[in-house]
């Protein structure tokens, strides 16, 4: 299914209304993916992942780093069209104030025994120089596909896809006001056909149409990322999924 962008005021209003409607979905429509007590229904390297204070917590330290990005994978099978909500908090336990995580979706398992995923990622990247929270990346693939604030068409290209920026979702000021990097962030991902959207606390911060048919994923697994590098802690709670037609 293809969702071409249109720039009319009427269409923009419809898109905004559709986003708000989705974000207000009735709780009964959603499946809880985390029980708040243990990691039942998830699989990953338990030397890095645990449940702490009612949250899924991923943590690395100077004494116990991860040499590669590691993932906690939801064991509920593949998901195609969906709306996913999760509250996220990320802490940099290092002097450079850097930490990196993400929500993997429509992803594939590359190496099961090492919990390595590849695929779309809603980025959660704490970088003091730039805001990357909410951008669209592809783990072990086409890398950054749409930056924060952009509406993008992803077109086929070699060796990299062509990224056509055709508008904006919100201003830098609006996005900056939408969340506090030191507080819990309500992160929402909506995937419908080849249309992908990311919201921070209800503000649309990224929208992409993936027209790169060779590489665009139509379904796959869900996962949570803990990035290699500096010591860091990332926490997730209130993870809810609604499958869409």
119-166, pLDDT tens digit by residue? 999 999 988 888 899 999 999 999 999 999 999 999 999 999 999 999
Q: What is the dihedral of CA 217, 140, 227, 210, to 10 degrees?
A: -40
CATH of the domain at 32: 2.60.120.560
| Model confidence at 3: pLDDT above 80 | no
CA 70 – CA 78 distance, rounded (Å): 19
Residue 19: which H helix or E strand, with range? helix 9-23
For range 46-64, the mean pLDDT? 97
Token readout for 54 is 């009612």
Domain annotation covers residue 3: no
Residue 104's domain comprises 9-243
Domain annotation covers residue 4: no
DSSP state, 174? H
Domain annotation covers residue 2: no
Q: What confidence tens digit (pLDDT) does each residue in 20-36 have?
A: 444 444 467 999 999 99
Looking at residue 27, what is its pLDDT? 63
**Residues 21 and 14 sit within 8 Å (Cβ to Cβ):** no
Domain annotation covers residue 156: yes
| Burial degree of 172 (CB within 10 A; 0-12, 13-18, 19+) | exposed
Domain annotation covers residue 163: yes
Q: By three-state DSSP, how is residue 13 classified?
A: helix
Domain annotation covers residue 211: yes
Looking at residue 5, what is its pLDDT? 52
| Model confidence at 12: pLDDT above 60 | no
Q: Say what percent of the chain tops pLDDT 90.
A: 84
Token readout for 14 is 């419809």
Domain annotation covers residue 89: yes
Domain annotation covers residue 229: yes
| Residue labelled with tokens 């940099």 | 92
Q: What confidence tens digit (pLDDT) does each residue in 77-119 have?
A: 999 999 999 999 999 999 999 999 999 999 999 999 999 999 9
CA 87 – CA 185 distance, rounded (Å): 5
Looking at residue 11, what is its pLDDT? 41
For residue 112, give the nearest of 56, 44, 34 by alpha carbon: 44
Looking at residue 14, what is its pLDDT? 41
Number of domains comprising the chain? 1
């Amino acid at each position: 299914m293809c969702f071409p962008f249109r720039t009319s005021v009427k269409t923009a209003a419809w898109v905004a209304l559709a986003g708000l409607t989705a974000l207000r979905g009735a709780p009964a429509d959603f499946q809880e993916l985390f029980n708040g007590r243990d990691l039942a229904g998830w699989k990953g390297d338990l030397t890095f992942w645990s449940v702490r204070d009612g949250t899924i917590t991923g943590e690395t330290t100077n004494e116990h780093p991860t040499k590669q990005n590691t993932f906690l994978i939801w064991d509920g099978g593949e998901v195609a069209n969906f709306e996913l909500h999760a509250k996220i908090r990320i802490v940099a336990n290092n002097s450079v104030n850097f930490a990196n995580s993400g929500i993997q979706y429509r992803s594939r398992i590359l190496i099961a025994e090492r919990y390595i995923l590849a695929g779309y990622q809603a980025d959660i990247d704490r970088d003091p120089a730039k805001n990357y929270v909410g951008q669209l990346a592809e783990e072990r693939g086409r890398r950054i596909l749409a930056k924060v604030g952009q509406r993008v068409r992803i077109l086929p290209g070699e060796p990299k896809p062509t990224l056509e920026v055709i508008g904006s979702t919100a201003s830098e000021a609006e996005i900056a006001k939408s969340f506090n990097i030191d507080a819990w962030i309500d992160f929402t991902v909506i995937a419908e056909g080849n249309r992908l959207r990311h919201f921070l606390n209800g503000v649309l911060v990224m929208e992409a149409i993936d027209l790169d048919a060779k590489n665009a994923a139509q379904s796959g697994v869900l996962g949570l990322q803990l990035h290699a590098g500096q010591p860091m802690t990332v926490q997730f709670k209130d993870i809810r999924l609604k499958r869409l037609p």
